[in-house]
Structure 1
């Protein structure tokens, strides 16, 4: 029996109370996730530009920042088979899943992972590296896209002084 503030009492079956409490619990749980900071995977709004032979970073981070060192992080290109450019799971890189074209050329700096930075370092950039990459974390069910544009040479804007 429940008594209201005005002193009136009412009977409510136990099952109805349980259903009421369950629905309110689910509502507040989802509200806490939405407002309380479940991290999102965030990538850059502009393409990344790199020169053949240089090293570059494909930026991606978690917002708000959480330690990603023990999370699964996948970098992929859908136009490749296998599609994996880099896979990080349980604190180690899974080299056996990686596309051969990226062997020994990718890394996720561990100190950055602890700060929510899941950016991919790509060494010795090749023309064939250009394209659209996906940064994905299954634990967060989120992904971001990063477009890599690759050029063959640098342009110099220096001018000679006349004597």
Structure 2
């Protein structure tokens, strides 16, 4: 393999990993009963036409939906009714953060914030919320080390699944990049033979 080809492979691998890892994702942990803010900001003060907070594991998926100046509670998941609001209802300075009141273990999940401003759509901000029982509560910081019936740690299963998913996606991205580089090298070699 020539120095130019090796350099190209290294560059493609680095760029691919940088793009994959730089996704806007945050992890937040809260105790049951707390009020939690899930952060999301628009890049500037353009007119915000749509703000959609959702969780893909729920049906309906909407946690909060704001469209063309109005909140739309009709398609909101029932577990979030009267428990969610925007940090700033006027969305000054592009703040579209979600306030979730009186969180429970059932609120654990991956939330997406999507907004549209004057015809442009953002890549979703992703926030993973983990809700745990407070110390001294069932499943919390107890003598059994926070284990529930069945020997599983509270929230441990979902966190393990998240880690496995992230690692799997990372490995998949690397494999796709390697396959692309090998295909490119094969194409170049075939081209130079002809």
Please say whether Structure 1 and Structure 2 have the same fold, judged by a TM-score greater than 0.5: yes
Q: Which residue of 2 aligns with 1:33?
A: none
CA–CA separation in structure 2 for the residues paired with 1:112 and 1:94? 16
Q: Give 3-state SS (helix, strand or coil) of 1:149's partner.
A: strand
Unaligned runs of 5+ in 2: 1-22, 137-194
Aligned residues: 111
Superposed CA offset, 1:123-157 (max 9, x none): 010100001000001343221111101110159xx
Q: Give 3-state SS (helix, strand or coil) of 2:126's partner.
A: strand
Cα shift at 1:112: 5.8
Question: 2:15 matched to 1:62?
Answer: no
Question: Higher helix proportion, which one?
Answer: 2
Q: Give 3-state SS (helix, strand or coil) of 1:101's partner.
A: helix
Cα shift at 1:89: 1.2
Q: Which residue of 1 aligns with 2:128?
A: 147
Q: Which residue of 1 aligns with 2:31?
A: 51
Q: Which residue of 2 aligns with 1:31?
A: none
Q: CA RMSD, aligned part only? A: 2.1
Q: Give 3-state SS (helix, strand or coil) of 2:79's partner.
A: helix
Q: Give 3-state SS (helix, strand or coil) of 2:106's partner.
A: helix
Deviates more, 1:104-113 or 1:143-152: 104-113
CA–CA separation in structure 2 for the residues paired with 1:125 and 1:48? 12
Question: Higher strand proportion, which one?
Answer: 1
Superposed CA offset, 1:1-52 (max 9, x none): xxxxxxxxxxxxxxxxxxxxxxxxxxxxxxxxxxxxxxxxx95x43011110
Asked if the contact 1:67/1:115 (under 8 Å) is kept, the reply is no
Structure 1 runs of 4+ off > 4 angstroms?
Answer: none
Q: TM-score, normalised by structure 1?
A: 0.62
Alignment of 1:12-161 (within 5 A): 43=24, 45-63=25-43, 65-67=44-46, 70-110=48-88, 113-139=91-117, 140-142=120-122, 143-154=124-135
Superposed CA offset, 1:39-74 (max 9, x none): xxx95x4301111011000001112x2155x42100
Structure 2 CA distance for partners of 1:67 and 1:104, relative to 1, 3 Å: farther
